[in-house]
Amino acid sequence: MHALPFSEQEYADRLERIRRTMAVQELDALLVTGPENITYLTGYTTPGYHIFQCVIVPIDGPLTFVVRNTERTNVPALAWIAESIPIGVANLSDPAPILLSALRDRIPSAKRIGFDTASLFVPPRVYLALEAELGDRLVAAPGIVEDARRLKSPGEIALIERATKLAEEGILAGLGVFGSTTTDSQVASAVLSRIAELGGEYTGSPAYIVPGVSSLISHTTHAQRVVADDEPLRLEVCASIHRYHGVLTRTVTRREPTAELLRYFEISAAAGEAMRAAARPGATIGEVDRAGRSLVEAEVPAEYWPNRGGYSMGIAYPPGLGEGDVLDIRAGDERPIEVGMVFHILPTLRVPGLAAVGCTDTFAVEADETRFLSTLPRRVLTADDANIR
């Protein structure tokens, strides 16, 4: 069983927040199936979420895990968690009978059972079986746990900051070999091994370590590409601790950066700084996006920055890194910035014929300031910066 990264009281407080929302929506129970949401509520974690799993959260009384038989050893020993119900080998491809039996046994009188209709982790046959048996008792209730995850506790921010520092160390390790290596994969090897050495765990998304114009291909990763001496190298690196992630991007070169590369990087860095400065409690998410995007669009074509402004950071499992289902930074979003929000901002410029040039960072909105969790210089880095600290 995994050690819990937070106190039992913090998990109890999270559960109480969820139950307050359930009460407002008049739910007798909530079915939680997303791995990030299950981790948030209970501390349970496994990479085996490709097999169906569900936590039954009644409005009061103990929680019930319905999980693969081999995953029961991962269920935390918290006082408010009942004995787990195993999905045996015979039901791995059709867990619906096990879940329905658990519902009959554990919450027989529940009249309104909330179900996250936005979840990515419910096979259609499970949903159809729930709908057939529960009928009107099955109530659409998306986003309840995600809404609670919007605002991070000081302990959560501390974990994200630690993960961000590991990502920094990975970038510095990559710089340390950049001057003597040939391919992007060799740099990636140094980056990833350093993060693992320092205690980083598997991440929700791979590192994007790609040279020159190849980096213009969205979500491409290292692939034994030879890095020419005059090519910039994109280093977007993430790290994870207890499933909490931090991430940042720097563009690096072997030689002194060209004036063209410097110009685009400085635009990216300035946009990120403008977004951080705008992300004050009371401002809107759309205003944060506009703070960076207006600066970029005054200098380069809008299509150079085609993606969203950023996304919430916190708990993640493959195949995703951020908490886009929790919060995104995008144009026109009128939701307010609040203390406890943490974002990875993404002013990466896709410059035709050159590279994806970016200075991206993770920042936290705190009571006194909104601060970058990385202390790595926000400039084009060279191999000489490997020993920057």
CATH number (domain holding residue 199): 3.90.230.10
Please tell me the total number of residues recorded for the chain in this structure. 389
Helices (H), the chain: 8-24, 35-42, 96-106, 124-134, 144-149, 154-178, 184-197, 259-278, 285-297
Write out the two tokens for 80. 């408010």
Query: Which residues have C-beta within 8 Å of that of residue 105, sequence separation ≥ 6?
Result: none
pLDDT, residue 1, reads 54
pLDDT tens digit sequence for 33-63: 999 999 999 999 999 999 999 999 999 999 9
| 255/372 same-domain check | yes
Q: Identify whether 126 is part of a domain.
A: yes
pLDDT, residue 83, reads 92
| 129/216 same-domain check | no
| 237/168 same-domain check | yes
Cα Dmax for the chain: 70
**Hey, is 385 helix, strand or coil?**
helix
Range of the domain at 64: 8-149
Write out the two tokens for 19. 């139950």
| 158/143 same-domain check | no
Strand duo 361-365 + 370-372: pairing: antiparallel
Q: Identify whether 2 is part of a domain.
A: no
Q: Identify whether 25 is part of a domain.
A: yes
| 97/192 same-domain check | no
CB 163 within 8 A of CB 239: yes
pLDDT at 194 over 70: yes
Which pTM was predicted? 0.96
Q: Name the domain boundary from 89, 114, 149.
A: 149
